[in-house]
Every structure is written in structure tokens, then in C-alpha cells.
């Protein structure tokens, strides 16, 4: 976890999912005023293994250092489903996530964020066992610094990760492996039934996470408002302050002492429909009490 800082004298770490992969991420981040960055290192909807050139990896790391950007996160492939009932899909998921983790580490990313998967027609117990077995395989022999971040899900279908207790179960089964961590997504939390829009709801959410997982495991927050209401179990992101969570909800979150020190990564549609933008970043900073 990022070291604790006083909310009164700390600048919010805010950024977004930026385009261009290793060769274009820094340029896009600078254009929108992002500090923290999240990228894809290959097509998120193809099993084809990404093969960025070593020179491009080195240049990306040098540019991040030059412009004092970061931290850097990689978002995993959307096809990955560690709970898949298909043995072929499960094996491809394990292989893809394993390779992506090691490549993310070479890039200097501090976390590879991914969706644990969907049980589909499997029982919860069987699906969870497949997730735990998959993670055991992915982490076998891995000694890098980049962590695997399980992302909170909105609860659509039979997804694993819509309840904090499920993350606690995974961590317990893997002996609280320090190579595992968690990524919140504010839209997903809200749709899964965690009311981060209200004062009492945020307090209950923070308390439950601390009891079941622990804030030492929370390494990033995807900052997204929600087009759909509390508990809708849908994944529809909205620009900050324009959805059902609202500006007041985000103001509360970015000023919470356990949440403010974390990297806030925008995955919003953008006010011009082009994804994370400078306006959304400025809104978050303003809600955090920063003028720019």
C-alpha cells in the first residue's frame, strides 16, 4: 500500500487509463494531466501474446522517470476467466495472466489489475476452487515486484469479486500471499451494493473491507461514477459527478484518510466521449481541495 500521508498536505495521485500501450502511454498521460497510469500491453480481447520490443519497454520506463509519473498499472486481458467451467479457457486464462504478470513486472508496473472471472453454470464452491487453483499456478515461481490486483466486480452474472468476503476467502486459501492485492472500482462497488455515495454507506464499506481484507491490500482505486443506481449489478461508467454516486460522494472518498493516499485511476467515458480526460482529473482534484 502507498505510505500513509496527511490529507491536509498531500496531493491526490490521480490519473487514468491511457492509450498507446508502452509506446504511447506517457504522451497521452501528459496530454490529460495524469500522474498515475493504467495501460494495456496487448489487445484486451485477444489471446495473442503481446511482445513489446525491449527498447520500447526501456524507453517507457525512462520517460515515466523523466516526467515523474506513476505509479504504473497494467490492466489484464478481458478474456481471462479463472473460474471458467471450460478447461481450455481456464488453461488459456492461467497462461495469459502468468505471462502478463511477468511482462508487467519488466515494465516496472506495481500492479496487474484483472477481473477474477465468472462461475457461469458452476456452483460457487467449484468456481472459487478453480480461481484459487489458477492463482496458485500463475504465482508459481514468480519473484517479481509487480502484484496481482483482483478488481472488485459490479456483480453482473455469476462473477467472483462482488463481495469483499470473496477476496478474504481467496487470500486465506493462498496463505495471505503478499503478491496478491485488491483494486476498488467505485462504479463496481456501488453496483454491487456498497453505498459509497453516502456518509454512512462509505463508513460501512470501509469497515467491512478492513475486517475482511485489510487496507494494506488495497493498492489502487478505479474512479468512475455510475450511470445506474445502487445495487443495479451493472457495469456502466459515468464521468465524475455526473452519475448516481455524485460529486458529494467523490468528495467524501477522496478526502477519506484511508483512500486519499491511493492512486485514483479514471476509466470514465470522458466529456467528449474519448475516455479519461483533463476535465475529469481537474474535477477530482477540485473535490480533493486542490486548485489545480
Model confidence at 98: pLDDT above 90: yes
Of 94, 69, 76, 74, nearest in space to 84 by CA: 94
- Position 4 confidence tier, pLDDT thresholds 50, 70, 90: very low
Q: Is 90 exceeded by the pLDDT of residue 166?
A: yes
Condensed to tens digits (0 to 9), the pLDDT of residues 64-84 reads: 999 999 999 999 999 999 999
Instruction: Compare 60 and 292 and report the one with higher pLDDT.
Output: 60
Look at residue 10 in the predicted model and tell me its pLDDT. 80
Pairing of strands 237-238, 225-226: antiparallel
Which residues 6+ apart lie within 8 Å of 34 measured at CB?
14, 15, 16, 18, 28, 69, 266, 276, 281
Q: How far is CA 75 from the centre of its chain?
A: 7
Beta strands in the chain (DSSP E): 14-17, 37-39, 72-75, 111-114, 117-118, 147-151, 159-160, 180-185, 218-223, 225-226, 237-238, 264-266
More confident call, 32 vs 121: 32
Residue 281: its pLDDT value, please? 98
**pLDDT, position 292:** 57
Q: What is the dihedral of CA 24, 28, 33, 34, to 10 degrees?
A: -60
- Categorize the per-residue pLDDT at 7 as very low, low, confident or very high, splitting at 50, 70 and 90: very low
Average pLDDT of the residues of the chain = 95
Q: Please, are residues 277 and 271 in contact by the beta-carbon 8 Å criterion?
A: yes
Domains of the chain in sequence order? 14-287 (3.20.20.150)
Question: Residue 286: what pLDDT?
Answer: 97
**String of DSSP letters for 78-147:** TT--TT-S-HHHHHHHHHHHHHHHHHHHHHT-SEEEE--EE-TTS-HHHHHHHHHHHHHHHHTT---SPE
Q: Of 37, 171, 30, which is closest to residue 104 (Cα–Cα)? A: 37
Please state, as a whole number, how many other Cβ atoms lie within 10 Å of the Cβ of residue 44.
12
All three cell numbers of 212: 475482511
pLDDT tens track for 180-239: 999 999 999 999 999 999 999 999 999 999 999 999 999 999 999 999 999 999 999 999
Confidence check: pLDDT of 1 > 60: no
Amino acid at each position: 500500500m502507498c505510505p500513509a500521508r496527511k490529507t491536509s498536505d498531500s496531493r491526490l495521485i490521480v490519473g487514468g487509463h491511457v492509450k498507446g500501450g508502452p509506446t504511447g502511454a506517457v504522451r497521452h498521460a501528459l496530454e490529460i494531466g495524469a500522474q498515475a497510469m493504467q495501460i494495456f500491453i496487448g489487445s484486451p480481447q485477444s489471446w495473442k501474446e503481446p511482445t513489446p520490443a525491449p527498447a520500447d519497454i526501456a524507453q517507457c520506463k525512462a520517460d515515466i522517470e523523466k516526467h515523474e509519473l506513476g505509479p504504473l498499472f497494467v490492466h489484464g486481458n478481458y478474456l481471462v476467466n479463472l473460474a471458467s467451467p471450460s478447461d481450455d479457457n481456464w488453461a488459456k486464462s492461467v497462461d495469459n495472466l502468468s505471462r502478463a504478470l511477468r511482462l508487467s513486472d519488466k515494465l516496472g508496473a506495481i500492479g496487474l489489475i484483472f477481473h477474477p472471472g465468472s462461475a457461469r453454470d458452476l456452483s460457487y464452491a467449484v468456481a472459487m476452487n478453480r480461481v484459487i487453483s489458477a492463482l496458485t499456478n500463475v504465482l508459481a515461481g514468480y519473484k517479481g515486484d509487480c502484484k496481482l490486483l483482483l478488481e472488485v466486480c459490479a456483480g453482473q452474472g455469476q462473477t467472483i469479486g462482488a463481495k469483499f468476503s470473496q477476496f478474504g476467502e481467496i487470500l486465506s486459501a493462498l496463505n495471505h500471499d503478499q503478491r496478491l492485492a485488491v483494486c476498488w472500482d467505485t462504479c463496481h462497488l456501488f453496483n454491487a451494493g456498497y453505498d459509497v455515495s453516502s456518509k454512512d454507506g462509505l463508513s460501512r464499506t470501509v469497515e467491512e473491507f478492513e475486517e475482511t481484507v485489510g487496507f494494506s491490500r488495497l493498492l489502487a482505486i478505479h474512479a468512475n461514477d455510475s450511470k445506474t443506481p445502487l445495487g443495479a449489478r451493472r457495469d456502466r461508467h459515468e464521468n465524475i459527478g455526473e452519475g448516481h454516486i455524485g460529486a458529494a460522494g467523490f468528495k467524501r472518498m477522496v478526502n477519506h484518510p484511508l483512500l486519499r493516499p491511493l492512486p485514483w485511476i479514471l476509466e470514465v467515458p470522458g466529456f467528449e466521449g474519448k475516455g479519461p480526460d483533463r476535465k475529469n482529473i481537474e474535477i477530482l482534484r477540485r473535490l480533493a481541495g486542490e486548485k489545480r
